[in-house]
Copies of this chain bind each other. A is one copy, B any other.
Amino acid sequence: MTHGMDPHRLLVFREIAHAGSIAGAARALGWTQPAVSQHLRHLERRAGMALVLRLPRGVRLTEAGRLLLGHADAVAARLQAAADDLDALAQLREGTVRLAAFPSASATVVPAAMDLLLRRHPGVDVRLREAEPPEASDLLAAGEADLAVTFAHAGQEPDDHPGLVRTPVGEDPLLLVLPRSHPQAVPGDRPVDLRSLAADGWIAGCERCAAGLRRACEEAGFVPDVRHGTDDYVVTQALIARGLGVGLLPRLALDAFTAPGVAVRPVPGLRPRTLYLTHPRETDQIPAVRAAVQALRDVLAPRVRAAGDPDHG
């Protein structure tokens, strides 16, 4: 009454119609005959009319039965199609992953992972949106992305939205970038002590990224003189190459692009930023997302140090 017919009984009726008899339907279903008989009885009671004529050799559909059979076939087809669709998603013949990643990852590991994912599962539709971690988190929370590659500098606690899960997948060291003409830019890739740069001008970006620099300098015993502001690693290096300052850039950014006029040096004791995969709690139950996670891990593994990841214990 509330809805239409009982779909389960409708499918049993379909078996009856297909088998041509109640007993035949029971055999097809692996049931006993009265079980099917009772389903038919309930259907007929609800319909208020006979759906089949009981003949000595089986049953014949009435007009109402023929009508119902058409609908039953359509329902069965839909149920099968639903199962098939889910199966296609499970086997990754179909499916969509919407990635979000910060710029230096979007220019390096993420395209490599997308390529790997597409090689493994050509049917998957991968889409990337470049976004800094806070924005990526927003995208995830708003349902506009399924999986994000994010990072946090040492000592920073990313303020993810509730319901998001963050898994560390590696560490990305910060490297000192100097003009080639800088006194510390001696050949040999020798480590540089930050204290030797207390008098230099610095280039830093947004609060989130500048915090890493300030913390490192604080530990080295000075306050950096930040003269220029940008998050763009190409802009940063253009300024540095012209001798307008020095800066810290993560290795991924330098992998993406290193300006000819700069020198890169490690800084002992400088804590790396941590890379994370972030996603809504349930999306790791989605095959396409799981495959994307795997591809990202496979690409990241040789490039970044493992960072307290239990899966890699």
Contacts and interface: CB of A to CB of B under 8 A. Distances in A.
Interface in A275-313: 280-283, 285-288
A7 B79 contact: yes
A4 B72 CA distance: 13
Contacts of A47: 86, 90
Given A67-B86, A79-B75, A8 B7 contact: yes
A9 to B, nearest CB: 10
B49 A64 contact: no
Contacts of A7: 7-8, 10-11, 75, 79
Interface string A1-27: 101110110110000000000000000
A80 B176 CA distance: 69
A83 B4 contact: yes
Interface stretch (A54-62, A104-112, A194-202, A245-253): A54-62
A255 interface: no
A191 to B, nearest CB: 46
A96 B64 CA distance: 10
Given A4-B81, A78-B78, A85-B71, A62 B286 contact: yes
A280 B4 contact: no
Q: Report whether over half of chain A's contact residues are helix, strand or loop; otherwise say mixed.
A: helix
A93 to B, nearest CB: 13
Interface string A201-243: 0000000000000000000000000000000000000000000
B143 A63 contact: no
Interface in A95-121: 95-96
A221 to B, nearest CB: 45
Nearest to A72: B82
B283 A62 contact: yes
A163 B56 contact: yes
A78 B82 contact: no
Contact of A80 (B4, B62, B81, B95): B4
B71 A82 contact: yes
A136 interface: no
A128 interface: no
A50 interface: yes
A244 interface: no
B67 A71 contact: no
Nearest to A80: B4
A273 to B, nearest CB: 28
A48 B79 CA distance: 16
B282 A52 contact: yes
A7 to B, nearest CB: 3
Contacts of A186: none
B5 A82 contact: yes
Contacts of A163: 53-56
B282 A53 contact: yes
A3 B76 contact: yes
Given A74-B78, A80-B4, A49 B86 contact: yes
B89 A54 contact: no
